[in-house]
Amino acid sequence: MNNKDNPNQPKIAFTSPVAVQLKQGEKYYYCTCGRAKAQPFCDGSHAETSFEPLEFEATIDGTSHLCACKHTKNPPYCDGSHEKLEDEK
């Protein structure tokens, strides 16, 4: 079973972060499984996996870069981990 169909492994949605406009104090649900069509947000596609969305509250108004490779060590924010995924593409 490879990374793309293992329900216990995150799927790499994109190998670059997604820029989104967030509102300070609002709650959002970040997709941790990588299967949502509404990246970077959860749309329920994790149902057949071991993943759950990550609820977070925006701390600033404006643009944030959220992780879409699902390998960040600082979810939901991009930490540059996508640059180290060459072997998994």
* Residues found near ligand FES in the complex (CB under 6 A): 31-33, 35-36, 42-46, 51, 53
Buried b (16+ CB within 10 A) or exposed e, 42-70: beebbeebebebeebebeeeeebebbbbb
* CA-based radius of gyration for the chain: 13
Least separation in angstroms between residue 81's CB and ligand FES is: 17
Cβ proximity to ligand FES, 54 vs 85, nearer residue: 54
Cβ proximity to ligand FES, 28 vs 64, nearer residue: 28
Structure tokens at 18: 């997604």
Cβ proximity to ligand FES, 13 vs 86, nearer residue: 13
Least separation in angstroms between residue 10's CB and ligand FES is: 8
